[in-house]
Amino acid sequence: MTKALPFTQKLLFWYRRNARDLPWRRTKDPYKIWISEIMLQQTTVNAVIPYYKRWVKEFPSIQSVADAPLQKILRFWQGLGYYQRARNIHKSAKTISKNYFRRIPRDLNILKKLPGFGAYTVGAVLSIAFDYPMTIIDANIRRVVMRQLAIKGRADNSHDGKISLFLKGVLPGEHCGDFNQALMELGALVCRNKEPLCSVCPVKGGCAAYKKGIQEIIPQPKNRRIKEIDVSVAVIKRNNRYFIQKRPSRGLLADLWEFPGGKIIPGETQKQALERELLEELGIRVYGLRHFADVQHFYTQFRVKLHVWICGVASGIPSDKTHRWVRPDDFSKYPMPSGSAKIVDLISSGKVR
């Protein structure tokens, strides 16, 4: 027997007794496993659960995703962020439906050519759904193995060569999907980023960082600087309808709908910035500006503070495919970034008069 076997046995034994009961673990449907894995990228498990349940209820099959318009896909993704993930799901679903009999291909070389199927997603789907002998590396697995091997440094892909060698050495001949999920679960519940629970870790006996007492400083913490952005936003109401506009199809928050406005330039007041932005973007002048609320939302590398103003407009505001006057009951038809969605919540609560 190899030296790796005790690690694998202990890990799987622990997982089968401690794994969380998550909805995507109750199925072997490759489609549902794929959706869960994409949602879980950059998003916590607790945040994903309601989105996953709502998604699979609305889109129970690959064909249902392929048949849906992109705007509906984005609407059901609203709140999860990183909207390119949803666009890739839509593109891949169309390709799978057209070329692969509405079933996710089991062929590694085909799968990795589909939009959104990077090395991690391919390995996760094939191992969990089909028990293919493939290793995967995500943030949790990277952290677990870095501690096992006492690899110092930041948790980036510069160490993935060593990590991959270790994983291939401990990958079991069967139950590969369980093994990969067990590693991720261990990282999420025990070998945590902060305050790891080494006392209950099933594989601490072979953990080099634990033996050296350096597990708290592996990986090296990131020094992340958050950029702060202040934006003036207009809530323009006319005949119980509100004006929204669609963002460009490329770039940040592509294809999402938002209230008009823009960044505040140093030296400008909130009001001056809003008047300038509305004139530049829409060619309109507004009147009766009244500060309504401040809405804050954090993204990965920046914080946006939306300074929301209620105002009126006499005429000349466009209405076309990318500019709409919307009734409050129809806001749910338009996918929006989280900041704009918070403004909608304020409107729906009756606070806008």
Return the structure tokens found at 140.
Answer: 């949790």
Number of other residues whose CB lies within 10 A of the CB of residue 240? 9
Return the structure tokens found at 7.
Answer: 């690690």
Scan for tokens 């990277």, then name that residue.
142
Are the C-beta atoms of residues 47 and 306 closer than 8 Å to each other? Answer: no
Is-catalytic flag, 37? Answer: yes
Are the C-beta atoms of residues 314 and 287 closer than 8 Å to each other? Answer: yes
User: Given CA atoms 271, 276, 279, 281 in this order, what sign does their dihedral have?
Assistant: negative
- Rounded to whole angstroms, how far apart are CA atoms 19 and 186? 9
- Rounded to whole angstroms, how far apart are CA atoms 190 and 212? 18
- Give the residue numbers marked as catalytic: 37
